[in-house]
Chain A
Amino acid sequence: MNPNDIIKPENLVYSRPRLLDERNTHYCPGCSHGVVHRLMAELIDEMGLEDKTIGVAPVGCAVFAYNYIDVDWVEAAHGRAPAVATALNRLNPDKFVFTYQGDGDLAAIGTAETIHAANRGENIVIVFINNAIYGMTGGQMAPTTLLGQKTATTPYGRRADLNGFPIKIGDILAGLDGTCYVTRQAVHTPAAVRKTKAALKKAIQNALDKKGTSVVEVVSTCNSGWKLSPAKSNQWMEENMFAKYPLGDLKNV
């Protein structure tokens, strides 16, 4: 059979989401950001939220998220996305507001904003990409960097006595009364991608239903920062990251 015979619209099962721009991203091949962007673009469209979505982009690799997902965006200062999102939603309660943040943004410089927005139960979704490293600035230690993990600022590996411990911010957020849903997922296999999509969908619905703050942590790879191939990054993540950051719901009320 000629493959061209089956390339027809009625046979299409997978395509670029309508709200994902047709342009190359600046993300490295193998990076998890592209998959999570795609899921958000799919869900915003599928849930009919294109006209009422306001995204908040962080400082970090996802600083240019607004170049890829075709909704309104506000670019926040480093770590301040949850404060920005608080006002977006308080002043525009009928909109869907989400932040998209990395580990340095959310769990180091923005810890106060993250915890207090979640503790107030702001009706927002926090998408948290945890790849245990600062990608944009060139692979420095993140608050979630594992003990022993080598980075540009822990060239001999992270040491607890010098650098403290990797922070499980998802667990902290799950302990706050303002969060309604905190889950930890990954996007390294088709099954994991489907689970993450379901988690994001639940989180978005919670925001629309004004149930409080939902946090979807995505344990992610940074193959350029980790200096591993995309395939080996997935393997390293499964063997090391999942032990410290086990997947599954941390809170679901």
Chain B
Amino acid sequence: MEQEEIKLMKGNEAIAHAAIRAGIDGYFGYPITPQSEVLETLEELMPWETTGMVVLQAESEVAAINMVYGGAATGKAVMTSSSSPGVSLKQEGISYIAAAELPALIVNVMRGGPGLGTIQPSQADYFQATKGGGHGDYRLIVLSPATVQEMADFVGLGMDLSFKYRVPSMILADGVVGQMMEKVVLPPVRPRRTEAEIAEQCPWAATGKNGRSHRNVVTSLEMEPDKMEKNNERLQERYREIEANEVRYQEYFTEDAEYLIVAFGSVARICLKAIEDARAEGLKIGLIRPITLWPFPTEEIARLGKQVKGILTVELNAGQMIEDVRLAVGNELPVHHFGRMGGIVPNPNEVIDALKKHFKI
């Protein structure tokens, strides 16, 4: 059996190591706090000398995402990473990637906004990531890591899902997960795909005709409305398929729960500690942590909604995911939000206090 490699590193560093090990072909990025360690680590590791992976510091986030678009158009596994203001800049390119049905991985290590905001952690880009972000009707597969281990694991998972559906994936991490150091078992090494494998798996890729009788054109432009509507319908069908097959979540203490917390990313871990403390006081609280923010675990939350007396969402924002929770459970059940903004991370006591206040328990 292969020896497990256990390392201590930051979430951002884990992304870089995992990218090389997952056989990613190219990374294109631009420095921005709190995720610059991704690009720095890749440059330090020089994967072009080992796996042949291309690493390039672009002149802007706009250029970086368009490099991702170009690389993806040739069937390569390509990715970028940034933080909130930079991800806003990438939205045009993300829309093009989604529209051209290209696989790609985008990492957003969120910081507090709006505007230049702060470099401290936040989850205020939930709407942007899960509802579209750029122009047009499109979705991203959005993965929410809560640990450094998941930062590493979601690189390969995000890329695999993206290739499976030809829908771009996003790792939506809060700044805490990007910056904190934890033990991580690095994912197994898998080789980059060969040109022959790409030609076989991505018959749509613009690689040069290479003996093909027809040309491949990667574009999102279609001037005829009936064809453009069909393109949209094809995307929507694929999104329904993803909603049916790819919902991921984790439940904690839900069997006997009378109240439910919904939280994602590092906040879910704070809430878990709060629940352990609350249970010591006799309060039966459960937690559901959506791992995919889109597709959202709507059915699971609806099921738990029938069991509990109320739901509290805890987020590093003014209340964004709460809208999806409300859509899941309807108007009968009380659903409240507790959040901190501007880069402040709540402690478990604040979570318990918020529960007691909202539900008068």
B217 within 8 A of A: yes
In the complex, are the beta carbons of A75 and B59 less than 8 A apart? no
Q: Of the listed stretches B67-75, B303-311, B319-327, name the one at the interface; the rest are far from the partner chain.
A: B67-75
Chain A nearest CB, measured from B32 CB (Å): 16
Of chain B, the residue at the smallest CB distance from A95 is B208
In the complex, are the beta carbons of A87 and B217 less than 8 A apart? no
Residues of A within 8 A of B63 (CB): 80, 83, 86, 112-113, 116
In the complex, are the beta carbons of A83 and B66 less than 8 A apart? yes
Give the CA-CA distance A87 to B78 in the complex, in Å: 10
**Could you say which of A72, A80, A84, A87 contacts B208, with CB atoms under 8 Å apart?**
A72
In the complex, are the beta carbons of B215 and A71 less than 8 A apart? yes
Using known A-B contacts A77-B66, A88-B74, A113-B63, determine if residue A95 contacts B207 with beta carbons closer than 8 Å: yes
Complex interface residues of chain B between 22 and 66 (CB less than 8 A to chain A): 25-26, 28, 54, 56, 58-60, 62-64, 66
Residues of A within 8 A of B69 (CB): 74, 76-77, 80, 84, 87
Q: Of the listed stretches B108-116, B218-226, B278-286, B291-299, name the one at the interface; the rest are far from the partner chain.
A: B218-226
In the complex, are the beta carbons of B93 and A77 less than 8 A apart? yes
In the complex, are the beta carbons of A73 and B28 less than 8 A apart? no
**Could you say which of A75, A80, A90, A113 contacts B56, with CB atoms under 8 Å apart?**
A90
A152 within 8 A of B: no
Of chain A, the residue at the smallest CB distance from B221 is A75
Chain A nearest CB, measured from B26 CB (Å): 5
In the complex, are the beta carbons of A83 and B70 less than 8 A apart? yes
**A-B contacts, CB under 8 A, total:** 126
Residues of B within 8 A of A73 (CB): 206, 215-219
Of chain A, the residue at the smallest CB distance from B77 is A91
**Could you say which of A66, A76, A90 contacts B26, with CB atoms under 8 Å apart?**
A90
A53 within 8 A of B: yes
In the complex, are the beta carbons of B93 and A80 less than 8 A apart? yes
Using known A-B contacts A87-B28, A87-B78, A91-B25, determine if residue A72 contacts B93 with beta carbons closer than 8 Å: no
In the complex, are the beta carbons of A84 and B70 less than 8 A apart? yes
Chain B nearest CB, measured from A241 CB (Å): 30
Chain A contributes a number of interface residues (CB within 8 A of B) equal to 32
Q: Mark A71-107, 1 if CB is under 8 A from B, else 0.
A: 1111111001001111110111001100000000000
Residues of B within 8 A of A52 (CB): 208, 210
A129 within 8 A of B: no
Using known A-B contacts A51-B208, A71-B208, A72-B208, determine if residue A88 contacts B71 with beta carbons closer than 8 Å: yes
Using known A-B contacts A52-B210, A84-B70, determine if residue A72 contacts B217 with beta carbons closer than 8 Å: yes
Of chain B, the residue at the smallest CB distance from A57 is B219
Chain B nearest CB, measured from A243 CB (Å): 33
Chain B nearest CB, measured from A92 CB (Å): 6
B contact residues, range: 35 or more
Residues of A within 8 A of B26 (CB): 87, 90-91
In the complex, are the beta carbons of B217 and A112 less than 8 A apart? no
B92 within 8 A of A: yes
A54 within 8 A of B: yes
Interface centre among B70, B71, B100 (most CB of A within 10 A): B70
Residues of A within 8 A of B96 (CB): 77
Residues of A within 8 A of B28 (CB): 87
In the complex, are the beta carbons of B78 and A54 less than 8 A apart? no
Residues of A within 8 A of B71 (CB): 87-88, 90-91
Residues of B within 8 A of A70 (CB): 215
Of chain A, the residue at the smallest CB distance from B92 is A77
Give the CA-CA distance A152 to B285 in the complex, in Å: 65
Give the CA-CA distance A130 to B100 in the complex, in Å: 28
In the complex, are the beta carbons of B208 and A53 less than 8 A apart? yes
Residues of B within 8 A of A74 (CB): 69-70, 73, 206, 217-219
A-B contact pairs, 25 of them (CB 8 A): A51-B208, A57-B219, A66-B215, A66-B217, A71-B208, A72-B208, A73-B215, A73-B217, A73-B218, A74-B206, A75-B219, A76-B70, A83-B58, A83-B64, A84-B66, A84-B67, A84-B73, A86-B56, A87-B67, A88-B70, A88-B71, A88-B74, A88-B206, A90-B67, A116-B59
Binding site for B on A (CB under 8 A): 50-54, 56-57, 63, 66, 70-77, 80, 83-88, 90-92, 95-96, 112-113, 116
Sample of 12 further A-B pairs with CB below 8 A, known A75-B221, A87-B71, A88-B70: A51-B211, A52-B208, A54-B206, A56-B70, A72-B217, A73-B219, A74-B219, A75-B219, A84-B70, A87-B54, A90-B26, A116-B59
Per CB-CB distance, the 9 closest pairs between chain A and chain B, nearest first, are A75-B219, A84-B70, A87-B70, A116-B59, A87-B67, A80-B66, A83-B66, A72-B206, A87-B71
